[in-house]
Amino acid sequence: MALEARFFLAAVFAVAATCLCLSAVASAFAVPSVAFDEGYSPLFGDDNLVRSSDDKSVRLLLDRRSGSGFISSDYYLHGFFSASIKLPKAYTAGVVVAFYGRQQGEPHGLFGLSSPKRLRRLHPRINLSNGDVYEKTHDELDFEFLGSRWGGQWRVQTNVYGNGSTARGREERYLLPFDPTLEAHRYSVLWAPTHIIFYIDDTPIREVIRHPGMGGDFPSKPMAVYATIWDGSTWATDGGKYKVNYKYAPFASEFSDLALLGCRADPVLRAPRDGGGAGCAEPDLLGLLTADYAVMTPRKRAAMRAFRARHMTYTVCYDAVRYAAGPFPECDVSDVEKESFSAWGESKNVVMKARGRGRRRGRKAGGAGAMSRLDVSSS
């Protein structure tokens, strides 16, 4: 299935309150998009957050002074969250861009607001979260984009955390099958009571089906939607070996087609913000569960498996070192598939092919050393 040239931002639904009024259709699943001022507010970065004249797109910049980010104006419970994203070009080692959902509480990793130093992390990211409300038991869903040095390529990491389970971790990492710096691609998250699906364009890349054994590890509390860029020099590229080089700043990530499909919820009461009633018709819970983006057809599942076989570099489901007690209950493990992964959960085939491409790129560029191979190291 061909991938569209769009980027997805993570957003969250709340079932049973007044829905946001959206307009302007964003493609892939024909979901409506929202102007920045209708659904979002600046989070940090001041002048490093640049809105377009029509308010339909945003540029997030990272320079020596600060990173930048924005947050949804409301919290949501379940839904479909999306954005088109174009990532920074050239040398981007240490840069992190993120799109994510999260509860209230202390901001996590990618855009951490606790100190000016953390605000400079270069790491584009989009996510759902509620850490500001539930500081020690927050939920979170992430797309994290990890920059590379010369001769490398951007990697994307997806995270699923529930009830403060970040120490256990449910990360996966992938190489992108296109250059995300040439044009925008769409990144989306479907968060339903029963399952979670991550999309790149219209191709599902990860599905997490809720299992009784997960307990509170499955996100279940209202979250806000965040998008950030920050300096992740301590870990993002080759375990922190390669840092952000501000000679190439400012690093700019572009966000458009912002989609917030869902109903607003009170993050503390975990209830519809507007008192419930019949105001949540598009989408209501039934509409969410039956929408195209929530249903995994045989064709979509086959596309997901093909993507993962070709581009996934790491999965927690085959990491026998970090998880010696066995895989998480929701993992769909296969003895045959397991043979292609190392004990650390890294794909033998994808990593080897990527390193081969990196060496060829390095030779064409006439470089050596840091330019001689593709960066496929885990973060």
Active site residues: 140, 144
In terms of Cβ atoms closer than 10 Å to its own Cβ (0-12, 13-18, 19+), residue 115 is exposed
Is the C-alpha dihedral spanning 28, 30, 34, 39 positive or negative? negative
In terms of DSSP bridges, do strands 203-209 and 68-72 run parallel, antiparallel, or are they unpaired? Answer: unpaired
Q: How many helices (H) and strands (E) does the chain have?
A: 6, 22
- Residue 32 corresponds to which amino acid? P
Q: Which residues contact 280 (CB under 8 A, 6 or more apart)?
A: 15, 16, 17, 18, 19, 263, 272
- The Cβ of residue 168 has, within 10 Å, a number of other Cβ atoms equal to 13
H or E element that contains 159? strand 155-161
| Percent helix / strand / coil, the chain, rounded to 5 | 20, 35, 45
191, 81 Cβ separation under 8 angstroms: yes
Paired with 231 in beta bridges are: 95, 122
- Separation CA 235–CA 251 (nearest Å): 18
In terms of Cβ atoms closer than 10 Å to its own Cβ (0-12, 13-18, 19+), residue 183 is middle
- Separation CA 182–CA 192 (nearest Å): 32
Tell me the two tokens of residue 31.
């979901």
Tell me the two tokens of residue 35.
């102007």
Residue matched to tokens 């040239």: 5
